[in-house]
Chains A and B, each alone.
Chain A
Amino acid sequence: MSAVVIEDVHKRFGTVEVLKGVSLAIEKGQVVAIIGRSGSGKSTLLRCVNGLEPFQSGRIEVVGHTVDQDPKRLRELRKDVGIVFQSYNLFPHLTVGQNIMLAPRIAKGMKDNDALALAKEVLAQVGLTEKFDVYPDNLSGGQQQRVAIARSLAMRPQVMLFDEVTSALDPELTGEVLLVMEKLAREGMTMLLVTHEMNFARSVADITVFMHQGKIWESGPSEALFSAPKTPELQAFVGSNLK
């Protein structure tokens, strides 16, 4: 059974249709990268998957949850689906440890001791054990993003969404974040990521999806897609990005 099913999703902002009938299925443990120019609808699609963007028609189902705008169902969905943003979005008034423990304690009712052990475990996963008591402002962008990943992992999600998570980072800091994501992928996490890191998509993603003008223009196994793009649009896109 697929972990994520997206079926003929249409989404408009006012009169502008940004998703024009998108369908996509992601198997459990699969890593799917979405690439495309800005404005192609790739981030919007990702945000539809955890209900941050409502959509007008079509169907999205994620690990047994049907995505709609009912607040209670959305919360149940979001306990199983993590998302990491481009701008990290850590809570600046809380320490790293508190950032991570907040949702497990509040949304899942976890006991303090269990939450503490969990926070230490996920921090170790992203290699930041020693930053437990530090405030986000005192971390580098790369470290903040790794904490954001740890915060998502603490919900024990079955699917993780990554929305251009390295786009705000200096080139020398992207590596440490990509490394964490690669490790997650190897450990079998189901991942859907929007990215501008073509090399990462090519080497880590099982499937790469190229979006263009609100549609999935071309998709397939990453290696094949990058080495032999079929449509002229993808050829142009790959050409301009690998140079």
Chain B
Amino acid sequence: MNSFPSGVEPGVDSLLVDLGAVPLAVLRKLDGDVLRRSLGHAIEQTRYVRVSTDGGGTERID
């Protein structure tokens, strides 16, 4: 999580690929290990829904 290429300010390094510059038309057709790993990570994260409720009597995260 903390390995950074030289010249990059150190910090947290996530498993989410940055799709900010990828048009939808391209994204639909993309493939590759990096993308597949990130897809798997995003799907895996949906197992852990973090819900916060306060004072409502339902299940809460905090």
Q: Do A and B bind each other?
A: no
- The residues of B with any CB-CB pair to A shorter than 8 Å are none
- The residues of A with any CB-CB pair to B shorter than 8 Å are none
